[in-house]
Amino acid sequence: MSKILIVAEHDGAKLNASTAKSVTCAAKIAGATIDIAVLAADAAAIAAEAAALAGVSKVIVVENPANKEPLAAILAPQIAKLAAGYTHVFGPSTTFGKDIMPRVAALLGVSQVSDIMAVEGSHTFKRPIYAGNAILTVEAPAGAVVVATVRVASFEAAGAGGSAAVENVDPGVALPSHTRFVSRSGASTGRPDLQSAAKVVSGGRALGSAENFKLIYSLADKLGAAVGASRAAVDAGYVPNDLQVGQTGKIIAPQVYFAIGISGAIQHMTGIKDARTIVAINKDGEAPIFESADVGLVGDLFTIVPELEKALG
Amino acid sequence: MRRIMVGVKRVVDYNVRVRVKPDNTGVITEGVKMSINPFDEIALEQALRIKEQGLADEVLAVSIGPSDTQQQLRTALAMGADRAILVQTEVAMAPLSIARIFQKIAEAEQPFLTLLGKQAIDEDNGQTAQMLAALLDRPQATSCSKVDIADGKATVTREVDSGLETLEVDLPAVLSVDLRLNEPRYVKLPDIMKAKKKPLDIKTIADYGVTEAATFKTVKVDPPPSRQKGIMVKDVAELVGVLKQKGLV
The torsion angles phi and psi of B58, rounded to 5 degrees, stand at -145, 140
pLDDT at B147: 98
Ranking A19-23, A81-85, A121-125, B13-17 by mean pLDDT, the lowest is B13-17
Q: What is the spatial distance between Cα B113 and Cα B3, in angstroms, rounded to a whole number?
A: 7
* Whether the predicted pLDDT of B221 surpasses 70: yes
- Nearest-Cα distance to chain B for A76, in Å, is 9
List the one residue out of A171, A165, A196, A139 whose CA is nearest residue A34: A165
- B126 chain-A contacts, CB cut-off 8 A: 98, 102, 114
For B173-202, what is the mean pLDDT? Answer: 96
- B223 chain-A contacts, CB cut-off 8 A: 133-135
- ipTM here: 0.95
List the one residue out of B28, B220, B121 whose CA is nearest residue A125: B220
Among B20, B161, B222, select the one facing A195 at the smallest CB separation: B161
DSSP B159: E
Residue by residue, DSSP assigns A138-171 as EE--TTS-EEEEE-GGGSPPP-B----EEEE---
Name B25's bridge partners: none
Residue B54's region, left for phi above 0, alpha for psi from -120 to 50, else beta, is: left
CB contact under 8 A, A106 and B20: no
CB contact under 8 A, A181 and B167: yes
CB contact under 8 A, A130 and B121: yes
pLDDT at A188: 65
Place B249 in a pLDDT band, splitting at 50, 70 and 90.
confident
Interface test with B, best of A113, A145, A178, A294 (most B CBs within 10 A): A178
For B188-201, what is the mean pLDDT? Answer: 95
Q: In this predicted model, what pLDDT tens digit does every residue of A63-120 receive, in sequence order?
A: 999 999 999 999 999 999 999 999 999 999 999 999 999 999 999 999 999 999 999 9
Q: What is the spatial distance between Cα A312 and Cα A310, in angstroms, rounded to a whole number?
A: 5
Residue of chain B minimizing CA distance to A95: B160
Q: What is the spatial distance between Cα A90 and Cα A152, in angstroms, rounded to a whole number?
A: 12
Average pLDDT over chain A, rounded to an integer:
95
CB contact under 8 A, B224 and A234: no
Average pLDDT over chain B, rounded to an integer:
95
Burial B214-233 (b: 16+ CB within 10 A, else e): eebeebebeebeeeeebeeb
* Whether the predicted pLDDT of B100 surpasses 90: yes
Among A137, A183, A298, select the one facing B166 at the smallest CB separation: A183
Place A52 in a pLDDT band, splitting at 50, 70 and 90.
very high
- Enter the pTM of the model: 0.94
Residue of chain B minimizing CA distance to A188: B162
- A133 chain-B contacts, CB cut-off 8 A: 17-20, 27, 223-224
- A121 chain-B contacts, CB cut-off 8 A: none
- A101 chain-B contacts, CB cut-off 8 A: 130
Place A186 in a pLDDT band, splitting at 50, 70 and 90.
confident
Q: What is the spatial distance between Cα B165 and Cα B175, in angstroms, rounded to a whole number?
A: 14
CB contact under 8 A, B224 and A273: yes
Residue of chain A minimizing CA distance to B214: A111
For A280-308, what is the mean pLDDT? Answer: 96
Q: In this predicted model, what pLDDT tens digit does every residue of B106-151 receive, in sequence order?
A: 999 999 999 999 999 999 999 999 999 999 999 999 999 999 999 9
Between A and B, how many CB-CB pairs are < 8 A? Answer: 247
Q: Encode B92-135 in three state secondary structure.
A: CCCHHHHHHHHHHHHHHHCCCEEEEECCCCCCCCCCHHHHHHHH
- A307 chain-B contacts, CB cut-off 8 A: 236
Q: What is the spatial distance between Cα A246 and Cα A233, in angstroms, rounded to a whole number?
A: 12
- A105 chain-B contacts, CB cut-off 8 A: 96, 127, 131
State which amino acid sits at residue A252. I
Nearest-5° Cα angle at A139, A133 to A145: 125
Place B28 in a pLDDT band, splitting at 50, 70 and 90.
very high
The torsion angles phi and psi of A114, rounded to 5 degrees, stand at -90, 140
* Whether the predicted pLDDT of B214 surpasses 70: no
CB contact under 8 A, B229 and A291: yes
Q: How far is CA B233 from CA A291, A295, B242, in A?
A: 14, 7, 9
